[in-house]
Chains A and B, each alone.
Chain A
Amino acid sequence: MTPTRLLTVMGILTAGLVGSIVLALSVGTVQVGLGEIVGIFFGKLLPNPVSWTETHETIVLSLRLPRTLLAGIVGSALALAGAGFQAISRNPLADPYVLGVSSGAAFGVVLGVLTGLGAGAGILFLPLFGFVGALVAAVVVYGIASIDGRLPVHTLLLAGVVVSLFFSSAIMLASALMQAEELQGVVFYLMGNLRVVSYPTIGIVVGCLLIGTALIYAQVLPLNLLSAGEEAAAQLGVEPERVKRIIFVACSLVTGAAVSASGSIAFVGLMVPHAVRLCLGPDNRVVIPASLLAGAIFLILADIVARTVVAPTEIPVGAITAFLGAPFFAYLLRSRYRSVSP
């Protein structure tokens, strides 16, 4: 991997990200022109011939911008977690949703809300509940699925299903204790749903994402070596158990943060790293940062679809990603099963 190639790839994806953000700010029930958007952001700095209304400024800065940022950050977080889980399980079918890690995080968040610990100012601690739930789910899945230190694809998927069902039913039990309007909120939340959130919430999710990214990126070379198996990696000087622990914690952290802000959005972590590997090869030094950017682009675009396709009604963005992701998963299972099964 040459630095030039890495920078070129990152440059192209960054341009794509900026483009998709601008598109997301512009499109909706009220169309805001490109000139207006530039004016709203830079009008105070530059002389600008385009004028814009205060309504448009409010729509862009208070409604669309926080939602778009959240979409981007959640997309990044889920794609990062997917790339991380795929690397340590040596399995392109792993992702936080398939492994039940998202369900664990959702249960943690619901528990946080239900106990009242996550209400009011405590809303800033919801990512922590999500993190703990995600970590518990990840460790349990790993414990069920591993056979003699290996993670065969069928046990991994089955363990993911089991854990996912368990936490889903735990959420249903918990929601039996809720009032009707609370319940509707939870159901909408569980489907994976982006909405307008406060900037402090976005800040917390960003913080978790940065920590998770740093932890994972420090392990990119060991992650590459692990693709040849844990023993082969150990013979080159990697400590597989230590690397796996770090990746579990980091992926759970970013999944927990993402789920606490937007519910469990399906299959982003599955599709994005896979598409990235298809285009750029499997080297994690590229796959990890490229997945961060591509995940953001993907979820921002999916959210535009979610809020415009049957406007003015919104559909949960999780429905869009699942609609795309389920066939994709089926395709992967059919075409890749032979090459991924040990």
Chain B
Amino acid sequence: MKAVEVHDLYFSYRNGRVLNGISLTVEAGEVLGIIGPNSAGKTTLLRLLSRVLIGEAGTISLYGRDLNALTKREVARTVAVVPQEFQVAFPFTVEQVVAMGRYPHARGIGLETAEDRRATEHAMDETVTAHLAAKYLDQLSSGEKQRVVIARALAQQPQLLLLDEPTTHLDLSHQVEILGLLKRLQAERGLTIILVSHDLNAAAAVSDRLVLLKEGTVLTAGLPEEVMQPEIIEKAYGCAVWIDTDPETGKIRILPRL
């Protein structure tokens, strides 16, 4: 089963074209890493996949259905997004923020149902945020906050989880924790995960496959060891890199040559 099929997708903002005929497929249950230099169109692709933006040309199908034929709310029952920045203007508690993820399933004025409470609690258990329930977002560390935002996405009960730079603002141990959480969600929930990352080591370690974007097109797609070749990375980023494999874990390691 294909979770996502993107075919020949084009998109422009007012100041220019960002996606230039992108095609890719995502298998259900896999982790796909999207990498590429700045302004390659990574975040824009995520916004199109969550139907916040609509493409100019090309098609996106989500579990076999045309994305444009679905309402925003229908999409939100299948696709959840963990954005790069997340701020709440008023002092909502962690629990209230997580419960917001129930909106795509809500009816009427949305008084909480037993199902809502169960999904919210489950999401907080999985992300180890239950003990933070009564706190406010600005009282949390970056790692805790990121787990809360992931919990909010899980409360949506999605099949596909999109993450934009989920580890950028985190220190090493929190990066490991978040990446471990993603692998666990893939294994336990059978979630399909697409993550955009500037951290090539993290992307290579956590992804089943990688897609390398440059200037709105797919430069290469394939297994991490196929994409993480010095000549390919050098072509994409325009700088020399050093790549090898960790003999113990078999994970790819990449460093820029300074």
Where the two chains meet, the residues of A that have a C-beta atom closer than 8 Å to any C-beta of B are 1-3, 6, 90-92, 217-218, 220-222, 224-225, 227-229, 231-232, 234-239, 277, 281-283, 285, 339-340, 342
B112–A237 touching, CB < 8 Å? no
Determine whether the beta carbon of B83 is less than 8 Å from that of A231: yes
In the complex formed, the residue of B with least CB distance to A89 is B89
- Residues of chain A lying within 8 A (CB to CB) of residue B91: 277, 281-282
**Chain A, residue nearest B74 (CB):** A237
- Chain B residues with a Cβ closer than 8 Å to the other chain, count: 35
Q: How far is the CB of A20 from chain B (nearest CB, A)?
A: 27
Among A222, A236, A239, A282: residue with most chain B CB under 10 A = A236
- Decide if A238 touches B50 in the complex (CB within 8 Å): no
Q: List 25 A-B contacts (CB under 8 A).
A: A1-B112, A91-B89, A217-B109, A225-B100, A227-B88, A227-B89, A227-B92, A228-B100, A231-B83, A232-B83, A234-B52, A236-B100, A236-B103, A237-B71, A237-B72, A237-B73, A237-B75, A237-B76, A238-B103, A277-B91, A281-B91, A281-B96, A282-B92, A285-B110, A285-B111
Q: What are the residues of chain A within 8 A of B77 when measuring CB–CB? A: 237
Interface presence of B87 (CB below 8 A): yes
Is the pair A236, B104 in contact by a Cβ cutoff of 8 Å? yes
Q: Which 7 A-B pairs have the closest CB atoms?
A: A237-B73, A282-B90, A90-B89, A237-B76, A235-B81, A221-B110, A237-B72
The number of A-B residue pairs with CB atoms under 8 Å apart is: 87
Contacts of A237 in B (CB 8 A): 71-77, 103-104
The answer to whether A283 and B96 have CB atoms under 8 Å apart is yes
Q: Which residues of B contact A234 (CB under 8 A)?
A: 52, 72
Q: How far is the CB of B29 from chain A (nearest CB, A)?
A: 22
Cβ–Cβ < 8 Å partners of B146 in chain A: none
Q: Which of chain B's residues have a CB closer than 8 A to the CB of A283? A: 92, 96
Complex alpha-carbon distance, A47 and B86, angstroms: 63
Residue of A nearest to B73 (CB): A237
- A217, A227, A342 — which one has the most chain B CB atoms within 10 A of its CB? A227
B93 at the A interface (CB under 8 A) = yes
Shortest Cβ distance from B77 into chain A, in angstroms? 8
User: Which residues from B are CB-within-8-Å of A238?
Assistant: 72, 103
Quick one: which of B45-81 are within 8 Å of A by CB? 47, 50, 52, 71-77, 79-81
Chain A neighbourhood of B86, CB < 8 A: 228, 232
In the complex, what distance in Å separates the CA atom of A116 from the CA atom of B112? 52
Given A3, A229, A281, A282, which contacts B87 in the complex, CB threshold below 8 Å? A229
Within B81-139, which residues are at the interface with A (CB < 8 Å)? 81, 83, 86-93, 96-97, 100-101, 103-104, 106, 109-112, 138
Which residues from B are CB-within-8-Å of A3?
Answer: 111
Are A92 and B156 in contact (CB-based, < 8 A)? no
Minimum C-beta distance from A127 to chain B (A): 27
Give Cα A234 to B106, complex, Å. Answer: 15
13 further A-B contacts with Cβ under 8 Å, apart from A227-B89, A236-B100, are: A1-B112, A3-B111, A6-B111, A218-B109, A227-B88, A231-B52, A231-B83, A234-B72, A237-B71, A237-B73, A281-B96, A283-B96, A340-B89
Name the residue in A1, A234, A237, A283 with the highest tally of chain B Cβ atoms < 10 Å from its Cβ. A237
Contacts of A229 in B (CB 8 A): 87, 89
A277-B90 contact, Cβ under 8 Å, with A237-B72, A237-B73, A285-B109: yes
